[in-house]
Amino acid sequence: MGFLSSLFGRGNPIDTLSLDDLKITEIQLTKKVDDIHAEIRRNDQEVQRYYSLAKETTSRSEEIGYAGRIKTLLLQKDAKLATLAQREKELRVLSNIIIIKEQEKDLPAGVLKRLYSLSPEEMEKKLIGISLDRSDRTKTLDLLGGMTTSSIGASAEEEDDDLADILSTIRGGKTQSAPPNIEKASLQKKERE
Protein backbone atom coordinates (compact mmCIF):
# COMPACT_ATOMS: atom_id res chain seq x y z
CA MET A 1 0.00 0.00 0.00
CA GLY A 2 1.42 3.36 -1.03
CA PHE A 3 1.54 6.58 0.92
CA LEU A 4 -1.52 8.04 -0.81
CA SER A 5 -3.56 4.89 -0.25
CA SER A 6 -2.75 4.93 3.45
CA LEU A 7 -3.65 8.62 3.66
CA PHE A 8 -6.72 8.74 1.39
CA GLY A 9 -7.93 5.15 1.23
CA ARG A 10 -9.29 4.05 -2.13
CA GLY A 11 -10.62 7.52 -2.99
CA ASN A 12 -9.01 10.02 -5.31
CA PRO A 13 -6.49 12.14 -3.37
CA ILE A 14 -7.58 15.36 -5.07
CA ASP A 15 -11.19 15.28 -3.89
CA THR A 16 -10.96 13.11 -0.76
CA LEU A 17 -9.64 15.83 1.58
CA SER A 18 -10.21 19.56 1.67
CA LEU A 19 -7.38 21.96 0.88
CA ASP A 20 -7.13 22.90 4.57
CA ASP A 21 -6.81 19.25 5.62
CA LEU A 22 -4.12 18.71 2.98
CA LYS A 23 -2.19 21.75 4.24
CA ILE A 24 -2.40 20.50 7.84
CA THR A 25 -1.06 17.11 6.71
CA GLU A 26 1.73 18.91 4.81
CA ILE A 27 2.70 20.82 7.97
CA GLN A 28 2.74 17.59 9.99
CA LEU A 29 4.87 15.85 7.38
CA THR A 30 7.24 18.83 7.16
CA LYS A 31 7.64 18.64 10.96
CA LYS A 32 8.52 14.94 10.69
CA VAL A 33 11.12 15.71 7.99
CA ASP A 34 12.62 18.47 10.16
CA ASP A 35 12.73 16.12 13.17
CA ILE A 36 14.57 13.47 11.15
CA HIS A 37 17.08 16.11 9.97
CA ALA A 38 17.66 17.08 13.62
CA GLU A 39 18.14 13.42 14.61
CA ILE A 40 20.71 12.96 11.84
CA ARG A 41 22.61 16.08 13.00
CA ARG A 42 22.63 14.80 16.60
CA ASN A 43 23.77 11.42 15.32
CA ASP A 44 26.65 13.06 13.39
CA GLN A 45 27.67 15.01 16.49
CA GLU A 46 27.74 11.79 18.54
CA VAL A 47 29.89 10.09 15.89
CA GLN A 48 32.34 13.01 15.97
CA ARG A 49 32.41 12.92 19.77
CA TYR A 50 33.18 9.19 19.79
CA TYR A 51 35.87 9.66 17.14
CA SER A 52 37.49 12.32 19.32
CA LEU A 53 37.30 10.12 22.40
CA ALA A 54 38.69 7.15 20.47
CA LYS A 55 41.67 9.20 19.26
CA GLU A 56 42.59 10.13 22.84
CA THR A 57 42.36 6.64 24.28
CA THR A 58 45.45 4.52 24.82
CA SER A 59 43.63 1.25 25.43
CA ARG A 60 42.87 -1.01 22.50
CA SER A 61 39.70 -2.33 24.16
CA GLU A 62 38.37 1.24 24.59
CA GLU A 63 39.21 1.92 20.95
CA ILE A 64 37.21 -1.16 19.90
CA GLY A 65 34.33 -0.08 22.16
CA TYR A 66 34.21 3.38 20.55
CA ALA A 67 34.44 1.81 17.10
CA GLY A 68 31.44 -0.38 17.91
CA ARG A 69 29.43 2.64 19.10
CA ILE A 70 30.42 4.56 15.97
CA LYS A 71 29.37 1.63 13.77
CA THR A 72 25.99 1.45 15.54
CA LEU A 73 25.47 5.20 15.10
CA LEU A 74 26.38 5.01 11.42
CA LEU A 75 23.89 2.17 10.90
CA GLN A 76 21.23 4.22 12.69
CA LYS A 77 22.09 7.18 10.46
CA ASP A 78 21.65 5.03 7.33
CA ALA A 79 18.21 3.95 8.53
CA LYS A 80 17.27 7.57 9.29
CA LEU A 81 18.48 8.67 5.84
CA ALA A 82 16.30 6.02 4.20
CA THR A 83 13.32 7.17 6.26
CA LEU A 84 14.13 10.78 5.39
CA ALA A 85 14.21 10.01 1.67
CA GLN A 86 10.80 8.31 1.91
CA ARG A 87 9.27 11.18 3.92
CA GLU A 88 10.64 13.75 1.45
CA LYS A 89 9.06 11.83 -1.45
CA GLU A 90 5.76 11.76 0.44
CA LEU A 91 6.06 15.48 1.12
CA ARG A 92 6.71 16.18 -2.57
CA VAL A 93 3.64 14.16 -3.56
CA LEU A 94 1.50 15.93 -0.96
CA SER A 95 2.79 19.36 -2.00
CA ASN A 96 2.01 18.52 -5.63
CA ILE A 97 -1.54 17.48 -4.68
CA ILE A 98 -1.99 20.77 -2.83
CA ILE A 99 -0.83 22.70 -5.89
CA ILE A 100 -3.21 20.70 -8.09
CA LYS A 101 -6.04 21.38 -5.64
CA GLU A 102 -5.20 25.11 -5.57
CA GLN A 103 -5.15 25.29 -9.37
CA GLU A 104 -8.01 22.85 -9.95
CA LYS A 105 -10.32 25.51 -11.42
CA ASP A 106 -7.64 26.50 -13.97
CA LEU A 107 -7.02 22.99 -15.25
CA PRO A 108 -8.55 21.93 -18.56
CA ALA A 109 -11.51 19.59 -18.14
CA GLY A 110 -9.73 16.71 -19.90
CA VAL A 111 -6.69 16.90 -17.62
CA LEU A 112 -8.91 17.13 -14.55
CA LYS A 113 -10.99 14.15 -15.69
CA ARG A 114 -7.85 12.05 -16.15
CA LEU A 115 -6.47 13.14 -12.78
CA TYR A 116 -9.71 12.06 -11.11
CA SER A 117 -9.55 8.70 -12.88
CA LEU A 118 -6.09 7.85 -11.49
CA SER A 119 -5.91 5.48 -8.55
CA PRO A 120 -3.94 6.68 -5.51
CA GLU A 121 -1.06 4.34 -6.46
CA GLU A 122 -0.93 5.63 -10.06
CA MET A 123 -1.09 9.22 -8.90
CA GLU A 124 1.68 8.66 -6.37
CA LYS A 125 3.96 7.16 -9.03
CA LYS A 126 3.31 10.12 -11.32
CA LEU A 127 3.66 12.82 -8.67
CA ILE A 128 6.88 11.49 -7.15
CA GLY A 129 8.70 12.15 -10.40
CA ILE A 130 7.65 15.77 -10.80
CA SER A 131 7.91 18.92 -8.75
CA LEU A 132 5.12 21.39 -9.39
CA ASP A 133 5.71 25.09 -8.83
CA ARG A 134 3.05 27.28 -7.22
CA SER A 135 4.39 30.41 -8.92
CA ASP A 136 4.58 29.07 -12.48
CA ARG A 137 1.05 28.11 -13.56
CA THR A 138 2.02 27.46 -17.19
CA LYS A 139 4.74 24.99 -16.21
CA THR A 140 2.34 23.30 -13.79
CA LEU A 141 -0.31 22.92 -16.47
CA ASP A 142 2.26 21.55 -18.92
CA LEU A 143 3.57 19.02 -16.38
CA LEU A 144 0.08 17.88 -15.43
CA GLY A 145 -0.94 17.62 -19.07
CA GLY A 146 2.14 15.50 -19.79
CA MET A 147 1.57 13.41 -16.69
CA THR A 148 -2.02 12.59 -17.56
CA THR A 149 -1.35 12.12 -21.26
CA SER A 150 1.36 9.56 -20.58
CA SER A 151 -0.91 7.77 -18.13
CA ILE A 152 -3.73 7.18 -20.54
CA GLY A 153 -1.73 5.30 -23.15
CA ALA A 154 -3.79 3.18 -25.51
CA SER A 155 -7.10 4.03 -23.83
CA ALA A 156 -6.99 7.51 -25.40
CA GLU A 157 -7.08 5.91 -28.81
CA GLU A 158 -10.31 4.14 -27.92
CA GLU A 159 -11.96 7.27 -26.48
CA ASP A 160 -11.00 9.74 -29.22
CA ASP A 161 -12.08 8.94 -32.79
CA ASP A 162 -10.00 11.78 -34.26
CA LEU A 163 -6.92 10.46 -32.48
CA ALA A 164 -7.68 6.95 -33.71
CA ASP A 165 -7.91 8.23 -37.30
CA ILE A 166 -4.64 10.11 -37.03
CA LEU A 167 -2.95 7.08 -35.50
CA SER A 168 -4.24 4.80 -38.26
CA THR A 169 -2.90 7.26 -40.83
CA ILE A 170 0.47 7.32 -39.10
CA ARG A 171 0.58 3.54 -38.88
CA GLY A 172 -0.46 3.23 -42.50
CA GLY A 173 2.32 5.61 -43.46
CA LYS A 174 4.83 3.46 -41.63
CA THR A 175 3.97 0.42 -43.73
CA GLN A 176 4.06 2.30 -47.03
CA SER A 177 6.93 4.24 -48.49
CA ALA A 178 4.61 7.01 -49.76
CA PRO A 179 3.55 9.76 -47.34
CA PRO A 180 0.21 9.15 -45.64
CA ASN A 181 -2.90 10.65 -47.15
CA ILE A 182 -4.59 12.74 -44.45
CA GLU A 183 -7.61 13.44 -46.68
CA LYS A 184 -8.20 9.70 -47.07
CA ALA A 185 -8.40 9.33 -43.29
CA SER A 186 -10.95 12.16 -43.11
CA LEU A 187 -13.07 10.51 -45.81
CA GLN A 188 -12.97 7.23 -43.94
CA LYS A 189 -14.24 8.99 -40.84
CA LYS A 190 -17.12 10.62 -42.75
CA GLU A 191 -18.06 7.24 -44.25
CA ARG A 192 -18.29 5.71 -40.75
CA GLU A 193 -20.64 8.47 -39.63
Tens of pLDDT, residues 157-189: 444 555 566 666 666 665 555 444 544 544 454
110 lies in the same domain as 38: yes
Q: Tell whether the model's pLDDT for residue 39 goes beyond 70.
A: yes
If asked whether residues 122 and 187 sit together in one domain, one would say no
d(C-alpha 132, C-alpha 123), whole Å: 14
User: 122: domain range?
Assistant: 3-152
- In this structure, are 85 and 136 located in the same domain? yes
Q: Cα 38 to chain center, whole Å? A: 25
Q: Mean of the pLDDT values across residues 63-91?
A: 93
In this structure, the answer to whether residues 100 and 163 fall within a common structural domain is no
Asked if residue 116 and residue 63 are part of one domain, the reply reads: yes
Number of separate domains in the chain? 2
Say yes or no: 79 and 20 in one domain.
Answer: yes
Residues 144 and 167 in one domain: no
